[in-house]
Chains A and B, each alone.
Chain A
Amino acid sequence: GQQLNQSPQSMFIQEGEDVSMNCTSSSIFNTWLWYKQDPGEGPVLLIALYKAGELTSNGRLTAQFGITRKDSFLNISASIPSDVGIYFCAGTGTYKYIFGTGTRLKVLA
């Protein structure tokens, strides 16, 4: 099935650093979602975006719905060790969710 392009694939950062990742699509979406998944667990919804240009925050997380409706960005500020995990995006237009390939984040204390 189709997957969204997500970058970077993985990143190692120092505790306290800011993190940015993005997701791009060839299709237009009406909704962008960002999830975090810990090993052996189900994905947990972090942020939902519904409007082109929308910027939404959830604590240290900020996500944006791209103006073209074909991309989205997630920023994590002042990373902490518990931010480690896999982050992935999802977009939906009508009846199906398309998922990103995931960004594996490792935080070095």
Chain B
Amino acid sequence: DVKVTQSSRYLVKRTGEKVFLECVQDMDHENMFWYRQDPGLGLRLIYFSYDVKMKEKGDIPEGYSVSREKKERFSLILESASTNQTSMYLCASCQRSYNEQFFGPGTRLTVL
């Protein structure tokens, strides 16, 4: 059974804290993605990576950075969390051919 896992289901952080969200996939996928999902705005792409150490900005990269040191792991970093980054964060992965994309269970982040 294919699997994308995320390090936390729920996180509560304070404004200004550095936040790490981890994602691991066991499908040997080349591509990995970070999205945020907000009511009324749908899924918005933050960053994606098509290979180890490679990254590309998505639609809303401001305030975020990413790291991909190993093929199976893709990390999202909030350098200095702000309240407007309170959201549901979803990690996903797919093969290089961009067919089926699989999502993790999500991390609900609240920034106080």
* Residue positions of A touching B, CB distance < 8 A: 1, 3, 30-31, 33, 35, 40-45, 48, 50, 88, 90, 92, 94-97, 99-102
Contact = CB atoms under 8 A, between A and B. Distances in A.
Contact of A31 (B43, B59, B98): B98
Given A1-B45, A3-B42, A99-B43, A45 B102 contact: yes
B62 to A, nearest CB: 14
Given A41-B105, A45-B100, 16 more contacts: A1-B58, A3-B42, A33-B101, A35-B103, A40-B106, A42-B4, A42-B105, A44-B103, A45-B101, A92-B98, A92-B101, A94-B98, A95-B50, A95-B98, A97-B33, A99-B43
A44 B101 CA distance: 10
12 contacts: A1-B60, A3-B42, A41-B106, A42-B90, A42-B103, A42-B106, A45-B101, A88-B42, A92-B98, A95-B98, A97-B101, A102-B42
B44 interface: yes
Name the residue in B43, B58, B108 with the highest tally of chain A Cβ atoms < 10 Å from its Cβ: B43
Interface in B18-65: 33, 42-45, 50, 58-60
Contacts of A88: 42
Contact of A50 (B99, B101, B102, B106): B99
Interface in B59-112: 59-60, 90, 98-106, 108
